[in-house]
Amino acid sequence: MTVTEAPPATEEPPVHKVSARKRLVPYWLLLPGILWLLVFFALPLIYQGSTSVQEGSLEAGFKVTWHFQTYWDALAEYWPQFIRSLLYAGTATILCLLLGYPLAYLIAFKAGRWRNLVLVLVIAPFFTSFLIRTLAWKTILADGGPVVGVLDALHVLDVTSWLGWTEGSRLLATPLAVVCGLTYNFLPFMILPLYTSLERIDGRLHEAAGDLYATPATTFRKVTFPLSMPGVVSGTLLTFIPAAGDYVNAELLGSTDTKMVGSVIQSQFLRVLDYPTAAALSFILMAIVLIMVTVYMRKSGTEDLV
Amino acid sequence: MAVVKWLRRNLVVIAGLLTLAYMILPNVVVMVFSFNKPNGRFNYAWQQFSTDAWADPCGVADLCGSLALSLQLAAWATLGATILGTMIAFALVRYRFRARGAINSLIFLPMAMPEVVMAASLLTLFLNMGAPLGFWTVLIAHIMFCLSFVVTAVKARVMSMDPRLEEAARDLYAGPVQTFVRVTLPIAAPGIAAGALLAFSLSFDDFIITNFNAGSTVTFPMFVWGSAQRGTPVQINVIGTAMFVIAVLVVLGGQFIASRRKNSASPK
Amino acid sequence: MTQKTEGGDVRLAGISKTYGSFTAVHPLDLTVPQGSFFALLGASGCGKTTTLRMIAGLEDPSTGTVSLGDTDVTHLPPYKRPVNTVFQSYALFPHLDISENVAFGLRRRGIKSVKKQVDDMLDLVQLGQFAKRKPHQLSGGQQQRVAVARALINHPQVLLLDEPLGALDLKLRRQMQLELKRIQTEVGITFVHVTHDQEEAMTMADQVAVMNGGRVEQLGAPADLYENPKTTFVANFLGTSNLIEAEVASTTSDVVTVTCGGAKLKLPNARCQAQTATGDKLLVGVRPEKVSIAHADDADSIPDGRNRITGRITASSFIGVSTQFIVDSPACADFDVYVQNIERDSRLAPGAEVVLHWNPEHTFGLDADQAIDAGVQSVEDAS
């Protein structure tokens, strides 16, 4: 016999240690990137937190006085902009979902050999600066342009101005234009996650549902949509978060009545130079967004954003 | 009735194509208006056809300078974010270590944060440190916000990679470096490339964070923003159209090559 | 250890592996003779793959040493060991074509002119015309042969195979078993083969180590393991055994007599793995194919001197070469009997009263202090 079970009498063999160098590998890999994020992402937030409770002026310098009143003052003065930001971003997110879902579905299940071309057309606008594309909306929505003309003739603008979305026979410089711009700008962020999760669905599931007496509508409600939930969640987050902080669309397509909180932060910081107010505003925005995101992700049971 | 039936059956396709049209429309407008000869400073209303701007795309002061600066920034930001992000992604997938939860949150948070918040807080830091605003502060900011996206893209790829492939390489006499260069890197390459591409387009197109931290440096998006207040030269549309066309051609060309290679290699 | 080892033996001495508080492999001594085909057999999670990976160097042992011949390789990284592995699901490099996959090991050792060797190796595994294909363009069986070629081209001292046939369908698996055996005989390299398939282990290996719970239960040649299982695990895991709980009635130096459910059975003392004092509990086993079945009406025609128990057929299934009966008897609830289909007795149908009888020499005895159903494969693990 060439093999024996180790006799229990043999002395305890020495235990080999995993080398320290090997154990440190992950830390070395993480170090530079994490340090970068700590110094240029986390630390700035701390600085900003401290700035928000400072008092003073640009000339005399700012000092930490734990002046939390700034938060109340900022909220009291700018609550309309906060509400507006959340409203616009929320509307744009819902529109993105409604517009994006059919397109993502089309690419995933119906496009056949055109799939790659359509995907390219969805992604390609990314490569033209979004500011240029947003400016193009100024042309499209221009007063007296074809879009305004058609909508006016169909009396759509009467309805929307009654709702307060537009003013008279204008589209530019109205809330509708801003929401339209936001929707346009963040549509790809909705479509790509949607497409990714739809594409993973096995086509046979549709056949199985049909086989089990589900109508196409029921199949969608009970099979396709639930399975695409990860895409819906990450798509809505990737749309809502940047939209809530955006000020480009509000500035380019809106008017002073459509200012969003991003504009306020920007002008407080870069023009008014009231750093404590700007810092407080941006902290409030961060808190609102993070709370909403956390609650939303808890409810939908997802862990990862992308 | 037949029409109604057809409409019902193709509802999804019609809705999808309408969305697609909505997404493409601005690009078409940009393209058309690159041949405009506007009256006055703003290029918002059609006047008459002209190829002047195409003949002289750099004819506006600072335009091509800002474009070159943006390309340069995007290149460096991509390089930095891709290297740092790839390292993090490998560590996250391949190793066990302490504080994993905290590190995951630190990577997740920049993606869940409105840009304007990061922009403002970073500016606060730079002002407090007395750092001169310019190319370097913008580069730092770009690497910061691109990093998380690279990590996510690379992580997805590395996670789907069979660890046995690397074990097989080590078993076949490849040392750690050889294993990484010959096996790990080539297989992770699509994920790294996707991350890098994402980083490039995010950095190149970023306005909000850049605007806060650039000082007097002007990137291409900042140039466009400025021109929206002062007057929009047709050359902006020329550059925008050229970028769109080049991007579409590169992507389609890449797919064409990929599909040809697949066809020639597949068994008869 | 004072065992003499030959030039290329694989020698594991006191090797073990623990992950935190979980012990995957208990300290184990094992010598695989050079040139042999050695199988590590066990259910998933029994430590067989961990043992293999420690030989490959892909896992650091917690204690003990691994030697190849006289060289201690315990602390050598895998790329410095003259050992190659055929991985489960093959782990072919998806970005390299077949010939580059096969050439990988040679190139890493700085060998420039690899073409001839690669071509020869691809011919050995009959894949010459596929050299320029990518792995995903090959069928499972072809990929498997590439994996073997990629390892063998390096002329390792030992070839390790980790469930190499697990992903193949049954017919291809049979074919590849013979193929691997042929290659092993041809190249004369030591093969260490990890598998959960007892038939595969018995078909291919010269020596089989049956592992369970991180320990080697029993080791030996396939026929020896099958005929003389030392534990209920081996008795049940290798093939099927009918195990009967019995009590020793009397013992002589040659024969042990036991009683169970009113029947008296005899078995050779030499085949008992436990104490056989009168009154001791004993598990008595017999393989289903050793047992003959007779209708109760024919009980008188059974020769004397055979072990016999009575019962009633509860189920029968026809398998072509044989018929399997399940018999319910006072001694044993579900007694399996395999009968070759030479002459079929039409009376042997469910409900029929029967007498089972077999040569006492074919009976073995096991320690009663172990689970009677250890190693029985349930529906869940049969994959």
Residue tagged 């730079």 (tokens): B126
Chain B residues in contact with C77 by the CB 8 A cut-off are 170, 175
Residue C70 and residue C10: Cα distance in Å, rounded? Answer: 9
Looking at the partner chain, which of B167, B178, B267 has a beta carbon nearest the beta carbon of C91?
Answer: B167
Nearest by CB to residue A33, choosing from B85, B114, B251, is B85
ipTM score of complex: 0.88
Report the alpha-carbon distance of residue C124 to residue C183 in Å, rounded.
Answer: 8
A238: chain B residues, CB-CB within 8 Å? 111
**Claim to verify: residue A125 and residue A36 sit in the same structural domain:** no
A181-237 pLDDT per residue, tens: 999 999 999 999 999 899 888 878 888 888 888 888 888 888 888 888 889 998 999
In a domain, A66, yes or no: no
Q: Helices in C5-160 by DSSP H: which ranges? A: 48-56, 98-108, 115-124, 140-152
SS3 state of residue A156? helix
A115 occurs within a structural domain:
yes
Compute the Cα dihedral for C199, C205, C206, C207 and give only its sign: negative
Pick C63's closest partner by Cβ from A5, A14, A18. Answer: A14
Q: What's the gap in Å between the CA of A24 and the closest CA on chain C? A: 17
B164 to chain C, any CB pair closer than 8 A? The answer is: yes
| C276-to-C76, C119, C212, C268 alpha-carbon distances in Å | 49, 62, 26, 11
Cross-strand partners of C366: C283
Distance from CA of A130 to the nearest CA of B (A): 7
- CB-based contact C58 B169, cutoff 8 Å: no
Q: Of the candidates B107, B141, B228, which has its C-beta nearest A252's C-beta? A: B228
Domain-ending residue, one of A35, A52, A69: A52
Query: Considering the domain boundaries, does residue A212 fall inside one?
Result: yes
- Of the ranges A143-152, A174-183, B174-183, which one carries the lowest mean pLDDT score? A143-152
**One-letter amino acid identity for C119?**
D
Give pLDDT, residue B171.
Answer: 93
SS3 annotation, chain B: CHHHHHHHHCHHHHHHHHHHHHHHHHHHHHHHHCCECCCCCCCCCCCCECCHHHHCCCCCCCHHHHHHHHHHHHHHHHHHHHHHHHHHHHHHHHCCCCCHHHHHHHHHHHHHCCHHHHHHHHHHHHHHHCCCCCHHHHHHHHHHHHHHHHHHHHHHHHHCCCHHHHHHHHHCCCCHHHHHHHHHHHHHHHHHHHHHHHHHHHHHHCCHHHHHHCCCCCCHHHHHHHHHHHCCCHHHHHHHHHHHHHHHHHHHHHHHHHHHHHHHHCCC
Chain C contact present for B188, CB below 8 A: no
Compare all CA atoms of chain B with the CA of A133 and give the residue at the minimum distance: B26
Contact C145, C90 (CB under 8 A): no
For residue B262, the model assigns a pLDDT of 63
Burial of C341 (0-12, 13-18, 19+ CB in 10 A): exposed
- What is the spatial distance between Cα B11 and Cα B9, in angstroms, rounded to a whole number? 6
- Is A4 within a domain? no
What's the pLDDT at A25?
Answer: 84
B136 CA to chain C: closest CA distance, Å? Answer: 38
DSSP state letter for C110: T
Distance CA C317, CA C307 (A): 24
Residue from B240, B114, C312 nearest A135 by CA: B240
- Chain C residues with CB under 8 Å of A6 CB are 14, 26-29
Confidence of residue A302 (pLDDT cuts 50, 70, 90): low
How far apart are alpha carbons B95 and B107 in whole angstroms? 17
A40 and A81 together in one domain: no
Burial string for C5-32 (b: 16+ CB within 10 Å, else e) reads beebbbbbbbbbbeeeeebbbbbbbbbb
Q: Cβ separation of B111 and A275 shorter than 8 Å?
A: no
Write out chain C residues lying below 8 Å of A1, CB-based. 219-220
Residue A305 lies in a domain: no
Asked if the Cβ–Cβ distance from C79 to B174 is below 8 Å, we say yes
Side chain identity at residue C261, one-letter code: G
Using a CB–CB cutoff of 8 Å, tell me whether A217 touches chain C.
no
Domains and CATH numbers, chain C: 10-232 (3.40.50.300), 243-367 (2.40.50.100)
Closest residue of chain A to B88, computed from CA coordinates: A30
Per-residue pLDDT reduced to its tens digit, A272-298: 888 899 999 999 999 999 998 888 888
A-chain CB neighbours of C65 within 8 Å are: 13
Does residue A32 sit in the same domain as residue A121?
Answer: no
Q: CB under 8 Å to C262, separation ≥6 — which residues?
A: C330, C331
**By CA distance, what is B212's nearest residue in A?**
A270
Token reading at B16: 């999808």
Instruction: Answer yes or no: is A209 within a domain.
Output: yes
Amino acid, single-letter form, for residue C309? I
What gap in Å lies between CA A273 and CA C65, rounded to an integer?
A: 70
Going by their DSSP bridges, the two strands C158-162 and C83-86 should be labelled as parallel
Asked whether the predicted pLDDT for residue A29 surpasses 70, the reply is yes
Q: Which residues of A touch B26 (CB under 8 A)?
A: 125, 133-134, 136-137, 140, 184
Q: Which of A91-100, A153-162, A179-188 has the lowest mean pLDDT?
A: A153-162
The residue to which tokens 């110094």 are assigned = A39
Contact yes or no for A129 and B94 at CB 8 A? no
Radius of gyration of chain C (CA): 25
Per the structure, the complete domain to which residue A33 belongs is given by 22-52
pLDDT value of position C221: 94
* C58 to B167: CB separation less than 8 angstroms, yes or no: yes
pLDDT of A6: 43
A220 DSSP assignment: I
Q: Does A44 share its domain with A90?
A: no
Which residue ranges of chain B lie beneath pLDDT 50? 266-268
Q: Is residue C8 within 8 angstroms of chain A, CB to CB?
A: no
Phi, psi of C155, deg, nearest 5:
45, 60
Q: Does C35 touch chain A if contact means CB atoms closer than 8 Å?
A: no
Distance between CA atoms of C213 and C205, rounded to whole angstroms? Answer: 22
Nearest chain B residue (CA) to A135: B228
Backbone angles phi, psi at C239, to 5 degrees: 70, -155
Is there a contact between A2 and C29 if contact means CB atoms under 8 Å apart? no
Is A59 within a domain?
Answer: no
Cα–Cα nearest to C225, from C216, C213, C234, C233: C234
3 state SS for A246-303: CCHHHHHHCCHHHCCHHHHHHHHHHHHCCHHHHHHHHHHHHHHHHHHHHHHHHHHCCC
Flag whether A68 is in a domain.
no
B128 and chain C: CB distance < 8 Å anywhere? no
Same domain, yes or no, for A112 and A259?
A: yes
Cβ neighbours, 10 Å, residue A161: 16
Provide, as residue numbers in chain A, all residues whose Cβ is less than 8 Å from the Cβ of B30.
128, 132-133, 136
Tell me which residue of C135, A85, C210, A248 sits closest to B165, measured CA to CA. C135
**pLDDT category of residue A303 using cuts at 50, 70 and 90:** low
Indicate yes or no: CB of A187 within 8 angstroms of CB of B212. no
Strand partners, C158: C83, C190
Q: Is C325 helix (H, G, I), strand (E, B) or coil?
A: strand
Same domain, A127 and A33: no
Do residues A93 and A184 both lie within one domain? yes
Question: Given strand C242-251, what is the order of strands in its sheet?
Answer: C263-268, C255-260, C242-251, C281-286, C364-367
Which pLDDT score, from 0 to 100, does residue A301 have?
Answer: 67
Contacts of C219 in chain A (CB under 8 A): 1, 3
- Residue B98 C-alpha, separation from nearest chain C C-alpha, in angstroms: 16
Burial of C342 (0-12, 13-18, 19+ CB in 10 A): exposed
DSSP helix/strand/coil, C67: strand
Contact C29/A5, CB-based, under 8 Å?
Answer: yes
| CATH number of A199's domain | 1.10.3720.10
List all chains that touch chain C, counting a touch as 3 or more CB pairs closer than 8 Å.
Answer: A, B
- The C-alpha R_g of chain A, in whole angstroms, comes to 27
Q: How far is C295 from chain A (nearest CA, A)?
A: 44
pLDDT number for residue C151: 92
List chain C pLDDT tens, one digit each, 383 residues. Answer: 334 334 578 999 999 999 888 889 999 999 999 999 999 999 888 899 999 999 999 999 999 999 998 889 999 999 999 999 999 889 999 999 999 999 999 999 988 888 999 999 998 888 889 999 999 999 988 999 999 999 999 989 999 999 888 878 888 888 888 888 888 888 889 999 999 988 899 989 999 999 998 899 999 999 999 999 999 999 999 888 999 999 999 888 889 999 987 788 999 988 888 877 888 889 999 999 999 999 999 888 888 889 989 999 999 999 888 999 999 988 888 899 999 988 878 889 899 999 999 999 999 999 888 888 888 875 444 44
Q: Do A92 and A226 lie in a common domain?
A: yes
**A contacts of C220 (beta carbons < 8 Å):** 1
Are A241 and A101 within one domain?
yes
Between chains, do C216 and A10 touch, taking CB under 8 Å as contact? no
Burial class (CB in 10 A: 0-12, 13-18, 19+), C367: middle
**Mean pLDDT, residues A96-113 taken together:** 91
CA–CA gap between residue C364 and residue C198 (Å, rounded): 20
Least CB-CB distance to C29: which of A4, A12, A15? A4
Least Cα distance to A270 among B221, B140, B230, B119 occurs for: B119
Comparing CB atoms, the residue among A110, A125, A278 nearest residue B23 is A125
Q: Nearest-CA neighbor of C26 among C34, C37, C14?
A: C14
Do both A268 and A130 map to the same domain? yes
Q: Which residues of B touch A135 (CB under 8 A)?
A: 44, 224, 228, 232, 236
**C19: chain B residues, CB-CB within 8 Å:** none
Burial status of residue A60 (CB atoms within 10 A of its CB: 0-12, 13-18, 19 or more): exposed
Whether the Cβ atoms of residue B221 and residue A131 lie closer than 8 Å to each other: yes
User: Of C20, C43, C378, C55, whose CA–CA distance to C217 is shortest?
Assistant: C43
- Both A197 and A286 in one domain: the answer is yes
Contact A16, B89 (CB under 8 A): no
Higher pLDDT, C320 or A23: C320
Give me the pLDDT at residue A18, please: 61
Q: What is the pTM of this model?
A: 0.80
Structural domain count of chain A: 2
Amino acid at C258: V
C-alpha–C-alpha distance, residues C307 and C289, integer Å: 14
Give me the pLDDT at residue A59, please: 73
Residues A32 and A91 in one domain: no
Angle at C169 between CA C168 and CA C171, to 5 degrees: 115
